[in-house]
Homo-oligomer: A and B are copies of this chain.
């Protein structure tokens, strides 16, 4: 983890830790929404790409992602002069497609319901010799995301008592869990997409049900977690919570109103859990706001809804 932090130093921003007061408890917001590319993903992507051999660099990389990982890989690849192909769902938010394309990556779309992004990426990799950069199932990705946890400890000047982290595949949550071994780790997922929570409860990996309800938390709609991320969170006795889209909308409004921050749905689930009183209040709680790449029309709708 410390090696990862040293490796990516200068490539990623040290994002602010902003004090808040949520329902009377003293809370610190780790603002990865202010990270370059608008999400924490640049950390893991940079850490992975910096470990490619010269030959691997030449052959390029391929990644699949609904958006934030795509953009993180695209930015890291551009900076290092590496060709990047990104496999994205055809229904990804336009803001994420545009962000990825603006970084010079080549985009290949697929249909979320009928095609397998893993197969498409594997085919591209086998045809071009490109290296697949997974979004979470990779120790270098997990270590890179975990550098956000090291920063939290440095910025706070001590270990926090609790860290509340959005969870899709679990790369960020497991990375931070490794980086801050003494804090209570709380992961938060959208209702119905709480497969990490159910996996931790069952003691084995269970995927999201095929009939899972819709959610606007696109960044963390991950159908199945990985043995790496699941294993770390299990060993750390992570606590798991799930929140509704309405609770997430309330958190997005709160971040806008109280802190002038733009936070996307999947990145607001931790704050949503606190605001919905799903946790006993505890001072020195860290809430990770993991990204800000929200569709403008959706953000406009949420912030102007007085509910």
Contacts and interface: CB of A to CB of B under 8 A. Distances in A.
Contacts of A18: 13, 34
Interface stretch (A71-79, A132-140, A229-237, A294-302): A294-302
A263 interface: yes
- Pick from A13, A95, A303 the residue with the most CB of B within 10 Å: A303
Q: Chain A interface mostly helix, strand, loop or mixed? A: helix
- Pick from A19, A263, A292 the residue with the most CB of B within 10 Å: A292
Contacts of A13: 18-19
A275 to B, nearest CB: 16
Contact-residue size bin, chain A (C-beta under 8 Å from the other chain)? 20 to 34
Contact of A260 (B38, B301, B304): B38
A178 B38 CA distance: 34
Nearest to A39: B260
Contact of A262 (B95, B261, B297, B304): B261
A299 B297 CA distance: 11
A34 B260 contact: yes
Contacts of A296: 256-257, 303-304
A66 to B, nearest CB: 18
Interface string A8-50: 0000010010110000000000000110001000000000000
20 contacts: A13-B19, A16-B16, A16-B34, A18-B34, A34-B259, A34-B261, A38-B260, A95-B257, A256-B296, A256-B299, A257-B296, A260-B293, A261-B261, A262-B262, A296-B304, A297-B304, A299-B300, A299-B304, A300-B303, A300-B304
State the 10 A-B residue pairs at the shortest beta-carbon distance, nearest first. A260-B292, A300-B300, A260-B262, A300-B304, A16-B16, A33-B260, A296-B303, A297-B304, A296-B304, A300-B303
Given A260-B262, A261-B261, A262-B262, 16 more contacts: A13-B19, A16-B16, A33-B260, A34-B259, A38-B260, A95-B257, A256-B262, A256-B296, A257-B296, A260-B261, A260-B292, A296-B303, A299-B300, A299-B304, A300-B300, A300-B301
